[in-house]
Homo-oligomer: A and B are copies of this chain.
Amino acid sequence: MKVQDIPSSQCWSFLGSRRLGRLGCALDNKPYVVPVSFAIQNPYFFAFTTKGRKAEYLKENPLVCLQFDEIASPQSWTSVIVEGRFEEIGGDAEQEHAHALLEDAAWWEPGYVQTTIKGNLRPAVPFHFRIFAEKISGRQGIPGA
């Protein structure tokens, strides 16, 4: 197997078929990683969440890292990393735009469902946000090379 960089245009092509990514955020240098479903429109990654630790971190520190991958085999895989910035979405038009995009994409994220945390029902009050991609990079493993 050979491991090599892939150009940013190829990173965006790869993301065209992705939904599920991992969002890394940090507060007081303490990292936190969660799986999130995104709707992707270069240079934005739209998602939603409810109140909770992720939302708290993002509002305190907008710096994030998104990670997407596809692992066909141990020797054949692609991983793309996006360094970006959390942005709140304001205004009805922007909220509706994000909501429409996410109706298709949000097949995983529990933001729309009631969640039982420590025995207590957490109400489902989602809010939309977006990540602005400042830098994108990727690597892939190529079998046999």
A116 and B2 within 8 A (CB): yes
CB-based nearest B residue for A111? B3
**Which single member of B30, B117, B139 contacts A63 (CB below 8 Å)?**
B30
Interface flag for A34 (CB, 8 Å): yes
Given that A4-B115, A110-B1, A116-B3 are contacting pairs, would A32 and B71 also be in contact in the complex, using a CB cutoff of 8 Å? no
For the complex, count residues of A whose C-beta is within 8 A of B. Answer: 44
> Is A69's CB within 8 Å of the partner chain B?
yes
B26 and A74 within 8 A (CB): no
Given contacts A74-B108, A77-B108, A33 and B115 within 8 Å (CB-CB): no
A22 lies within 8 A of B22 (CB): yes
A20 within 8 A of B: yes
A108-B34 in contact given A2-B113, A4-B115, A114-B2 (Cβ < 8 Å):
no
> Are A67 and B116 in touch, CB under 8 angstroms?
no
B79 to A34, Cβ gap below 8 A? yes
Instruction: Check if B74 sits within 8 Å of A107, measured CB to CB.
Output: yes
1/0 per position for A55-73, CB-CB distance to B under 8 A?
Answer: 0000001011111010100
| A contacts, CB < 8 Å to B | 1-5, 20, 22-35, 61, 63-67, 69, 71, 74, 77, 79, 81, 83, 107-108, 110, 113-118, 139, 141
> 9 A-B residue contacts at CB 8 Å?
A1-B113, A3-B110, A3-B116, A22-B24, A31-B33, A33-B65, A34-B67, A34-B81, A77-B108
